[in-house]
Amino acid sequence: MTMGVHDGHATFYTYVDTPVGKLMLAGCPDHGLRLIAFQCGKGRVAPEPEWKQSAEPFREAGRQLAAYFRGERTTFDLQLNPAGTPFQLAVWKALEGIPFGETRSYGDVARSIGRPGAARAVGLANGRNPLAIVVPCHRVIGSTGTLVGYGGGLNVKQALLDLESTVLARRPPEGPRRTRARREPK
């Protein structure tokens, strides 16, 4: 992935330790986060020589990731700026719509973007997602319900899905809220 300098803006990067391994975050403070990459497995990415190391531009991303791993956050509110083809961007946008703790098949995602015959292409785009965890490609599984492919390794994919199901299991069931009747003062 080439991210050097864009429109005169340098690319910064930092590393964040998580329960599933070290992640590298990269991007530009003015344009947003462009990369969250595992430092293990097939998704490992090394910083380019012209990138500048600094944790400061990623403080909020680090806080939100830490809250996710503590089970306190189910969505992310970060400025994202992934680079991809129009098809990849459509797939990645669809991934953001998969609710926390749920999974979808590649075919489900293909149908959600109006390309029902493009499950394999969705799989390729999913595998090129540059924003692991925040754009939840780990929530996409095979049509038979099996775990298939993940840049951080299948053990990490399983750990992320387990984390999300554990968080949901701890939450009280949703249902009608009971309200107390208020009496009007006499």
**Catalytic site positions:** 137
Tell me which H or E stretch contains 166. Answer: helix 154-170
DSSP summary character for residue 109: H
DSSP summary character for residue 43: G
Determine contact, residues 148/12, Cβ cutoff 8 Å.
no
